[in-house]
Structure 1
Amino acid sequence: MILISACLAGLECRYDGGDNKIPEILKLVKEKKAILVCPEQLGGMATPRLPCEIIDGDGEDVLNNQAKVVNKSGEDVSMFFIKGAQETLKIAKIYGAKTAILKKRSPSCGSRIIYDGSFSGKKKIGDGVTVALLKREGIDVLDEENFETTIK
């Protein structure tokens, strides 16, 4: 079973209430090869919600209480992101997922590159909170741009 960011399958759970639907990813769900997750909703955040970014580090640093996730108003929302990551990991374990396809650049789901915390569109190297936790547990994390060569 593959974990997939729900927004990539067309669920309207992005911060702005939209989705990032990709037909090839939706096909994996329809073929019962994937289970959908939205770590931010699993963590208790509403949709829509203010945009959030990680400041002073990345997801691993958030998990280690060395950085935080803040919304555009400056409110610390790290607890929601940590809870969402933990709930996502529980789902991965229940289904025996070894691979995840998650939304790039997200403070939860971003793999390798995330926004830099300035809300200016600038990016930095790092993983989102959920990605950091999944990688700790040995789950391979892909994004919507690099999944096709790995998942058949």
Structure 2
Amino acid sequence: MILISACLVGHRVRFDGGVKTNDLLMKYNERGRFIAVCPECFAMLPIPRPPMELQRTSGEKVLAGKGHALDKNGQDTTEYLITGAEKVLKIAEAYHVRVAILKERSPSCGTHFVHTGKFDGKTMKGMGVCAALLEAHGIKVYSDEEMTVGRLESLLSEDKLRDRD
């Protein structure tokens, strides 16, 4: 099984109650090989909720206790991001997941970029908290933006082979 950010496959879990569906991922979701997750929902954050951003830091630093996240109202949301990431990791471990496809630029799921913490739309290099935790536990994380038919076919083929072992 492959973990996937729930917002990418039609679940209304984003901070604004919306989705960020990806047509290619929606098509492949029909194959039944994805486990849709939302770390922020698993942390019991409401929908809708104020947007949150890592504060000029990365998920790795947040997990090490050297960074934090705030929502647009100034509330510290660091513990929510950590709690959600830990719950996603438990699901990944239960299903022996080796791969995740996550929503780029999210404070939880960003794989290459996250927002800067100024709520101005700008981004910086870094991983979200959940992406960093999964990768630290040997799970390969991919951005939704780097998915192609070829890459998905390869990931799904590898996943099916592991199921046979």
What's the TM-score bracket when you normalise by the shorter of the two chains?
over 0.9
Alignment partner, residue 71 of structure 2: 71
**TM-score using structure 1 length:** 0.96
Shift of 1:144: 1.4
Is 2:50 aligned against 1:34? no
The structure with more radius of gyration: 2
Alignment partner, residue 151 of structure 2: 150
Is 2:92 aligned against 1:96? no
State the identity as a percent: 41
Over the aligned positions, Cα root-mean-square deviation in angstroms equals: 1.0
Shift of 1:97: 1.1
Q: Aligned partners of 2:34 and 2:28: how far apart in 1?
A: 6
1:2-151 mapped onto 2 (5 Å cutoff): 2-148=2-148, 149-151=150-152
Shift of 1:151: 1.6
More helix by share: 2
Aligned residues: 152
Q: Aligned partners of 2:7 and 2:17: how far apart in 1?
A: 10
Shift of 1:30: 1.9
Shift of 1:74: 0.9
Deviations 1:79-116 (A, max 9, x none): 11000000000111111111111100000000111100
Shift of 1:122: 1.1
Give structure 1 regions of 4+ aligned residues with deviation exceeding 4 angstroms: none
- Structure 2, unmatched stretches of 5+, are 154-165
Alignment partner, residue 161 of structure 2: none
Q: Aligned partners of 1:28 and 1:99: how far apart in 2?
A: 15
Q: Which amino acid aligns with 1:88?
A: V
Q: Per the alignment, in what secondary structure is the counterpart of residue 124 of structure 1?
A: strand
Shift of 1:145: 1.1
Shift of 1:34: 0.7
Shift of 1:26: 2.1
